Copies of this chain bind each other. A is one copy, B any other.
Amino acid sequence: MDEPINIFKALSDATRLKIIWLLTNMDEKICVSEIVEVLNEYQYNVSRHLKILKHAKLVEEVKEGKWVYYYLTPIKNEFRQLIQEAIKTIPESQMNNEIQKCKKLLAERHK
């Protein structure tokens, strides 16, 4: 019962849900400063929210030089699977311009 509650709690905040939504839809790992820019949120808040998501085992991190990249924890149970699918159904339109912003950022990154 605790695992689902922690997951629901982690997803019940706009910033955190947006982060998960981004990771889900970008299908790529994203670093803190990119999230900060895309969501237009303070860096310290993003870091704190990421910590909560990590604690709920929704994301994991990998350090590369100065950057810390976050990505969705690989799915290992049906509950997580269904939650992920539910998040996928949240339409892009509800993310306003965040998604375009993020796409642009990631595109530049690959140059």
A interface residue numbers (CB < 8 A to B): 1, 4-5, 8-9, 11-14, 17-18, 77-79, 82-83, 85-87, 89-90, 94-95
- Kindly report how many copies of this chain are found in the complex they form together: 2
Could you list some 12 contacts between A and B, CB below 8 A?
Answer: A1-B14, A1-B90, A1-B94, A4-B86, A5-B17, A8-B12, A8-B17, A77-B89, A78-B86, A79-B90, A83-B86, A86-B86
Interface of A is mostly: helix
Contact assessment for B9 and A12 in the assembled complex, using a CB-CB cutoff below 8 Å: yes
Contact assessment for A4 and B85 in the assembled complex, using a CB-CB cutoff below 8 Å: no
Contact assessment for A82 and B85 in the assembled complex, using a CB-CB cutoff below 8 Å: yes
Partner of A1, one of B8, B17, B77, B85: B17
